[in-house]
Structure 1
Amino acid sequence: MPRGRAANYDDQREMILEQAAQLFARRGYSATSMNQVAEACGLSKASLYHYYRDKYAMLVCIAEDHVTRLAALIEDEQVRQLQGEARLRHLIQRIVEEYADAQSAHRVLTEDVKFLEDDDRRRVLDKERVVVEGFARAVAESGKLDGSKNMAGMAKPLTMLLFGMINWMFTWMRPDGELNYSAMGPVVADLFLGGLPNVKPPGLVVPSFTPALSPSSLAPPPANRQGAEAGA
């Protein structure tokens, strides 16, 4: 007879994914072995294969589970009665708090999606688009943008700028720091919503000066995942 599943099978699968996500985030997907995942989980390698057929299956689950939770958040917000600025503020707060407990999974989604096979990557990216489009609608309906037709196409670029703030918080936020994700939600909303009324369509306003930016100030965070994180 085939071997039945243990009563804690689902809990074990979730624990394995959490440990794998931490290793992928810290070491990189390519540099992490099944042996290392098994050791982190306190399991034998043979036991690990009882839950996941290989390392790639874990990667797919980590990326898809994370983006599925974000997409579900968007769907949940659509049935709420909040409108305008209040809706966007609430959406920002919820997604910032969601990232608080998913830092490793988010880092994997951000940096390791390139390792997914075409069909898997397409499925994950389609769900990411649902998240972006949901935020873009909230931005467009916030009442903070100039209502002229010149601003009609700016909701999605502004949404991507918003995610630029949120997506990299994990590189400097410390779990034991004075700031936490719940406290930072309103700060992100204030900063973003406070700037929206001042946005002008590109090409209509020419800056009177060009800020001096060094190349390093435009560079992404260091690629070395095992380096120490900066304090808040």
Structure 2
Amino acid sequence: MTRVRADDYGDKKQSILDRAATLFARKGFELTTMVDVATACGTSKSHLYHYFPGKEDLLFEIVREHIAGQAVELSEIVALPLPAEERFQRYVNAFVMRAAHSRDEHLVLMNDLKFLPAARRKQVRKLETQLVDLMIGLLKEINPALMLPDKVQAPYAMLLFGMIIWTFTWYQKSGAIAPAELAARISHLFVHGFKNGDFPAAG
């Protein structure tokens, strides 16, 4: 007989993912055990296996859910009937906001993807490629001449992603610069450059 899932199955599953992401981000995937996750969730290891067959499955779902959510949100932004630079700013803002409010998941994606088997890494990399392609399209609209050589397109997009992604190894949203301001400064710096930049003062 097929086992009927409880009404709160989805909520409990998400709670496990959230707590596992926190542990993986702080302790590292290799050093975290399923017992650690069960303890953090206030449950037993056998109960965890009802939701996830193993630790690798937890890791995969954390990173897949995180980046799949980004892909949907950013695709919708790029499709908006707005000027390219405004869509670029919204894209960066959305990326920064997700990284700031899901910092544990962001760090797990950065640091622990290598622990997944090749087939699962490939699934995640495919989603990451979607994000890069979306950014390349925006940069082509903003400055077609600069993006004309094929060889520079991915590097320009990856320079931007590198700026954002690695920032969250040290950035704390509770600091002096709020996520929205950080996103605005990143957008302005990337589009206008440092030497010629003149970031508008807060009104």
**Is the TM-score greater than 0.5?**
yes
Aligned counterparts, 1:49-68, within 5 A: 49-68=49-68
CA contact (8 A) 2:78 2:87 kept: no
Please list, as runs of the form range in 1=range in 2, the aligned pairs for 1:61-210 lying within 5 A after superposition: 61-143=61-143, 147=145, 151-195=149-193
Alpha-carbon shift at residue 176 of structure 1 (Å): 2.6
Deviation at 1:197, TM superposition (A): 10
TM-score (norm. length: structure 1) = 0.78
Matched residue type, 2:59: L
Separation in structure 1 between the aligned mates of residue 177 and residue 146 of structure 2, nearest angstrom: 38
Aligned residue for 2:163, secondary structure, equals helix
Give the distance between the partners of 1:77 and 1:177, measured in 2 at CA.
27
Change (3 A) 1:77 1:176: closer
Identity value in percent: 34
Amino acid at match of 2:164: I
**Are the structure 2 counterparts of residues 187 and 5 from structure 1 closer, same or farther at C-alpha, using a change threshold of 3 Å?**
same
Q: TM-score, normalized by length of structure 2?
A: 0.88
Q: How many Å apart are 1:196 and its aligned residue?
A: 9.3
CA distance in 2 between counterparts of 1:24 and 1:114 reads 13
Q: Once structures 1 and 2 are overlaid, which stretch shifts more, 14-23 or 151-160?
A: 151-160
Give the CA deviation at 1:153: 3.5
CA distance in 2, matches of 1:95, 1:148: 24
Contact 1:21–1:104 (CA<8 Å) still a contact in 2? yes
1: distance between equivalents of 2:76 and 2:194? 25
Paired residue type of 1:57: D
Tell me, in whole angstroms, the C-alpha distance in 2 between the residues paired with 1:136 and 1:16.
Answer: 35
SS of match in other structure, 1:50: coil
Q: RMSD of the alignment, in Å? A: 2.1
Based on CA coordinates, which of the two structures has the bigger radius of gyration? 1
**Residue 31 (structure 1) aligns with:** 31
Which has the larger helix fraction? 2
In the comparison of the two structures, how many residue pairs are matched?
Answer: 196
Which consecutive unaligned segments of at least 5 residues does structure 1 have? Answer: 199-232
Shift of 1:177: 1.6
- Runs of 4+, deviation exceeding 3 Å: 148-153
Report the residue type matching 2:175 in the other structure.
Answer: G
* Contact 2:107/2:169, CA 8 A, preserved across alignment: no
**Shift of residue 84, structure 1, vs aligned partner:** 2.2
Distance, in Å, in 2 between the alignment partners of 1:176 and 1:121 is 32
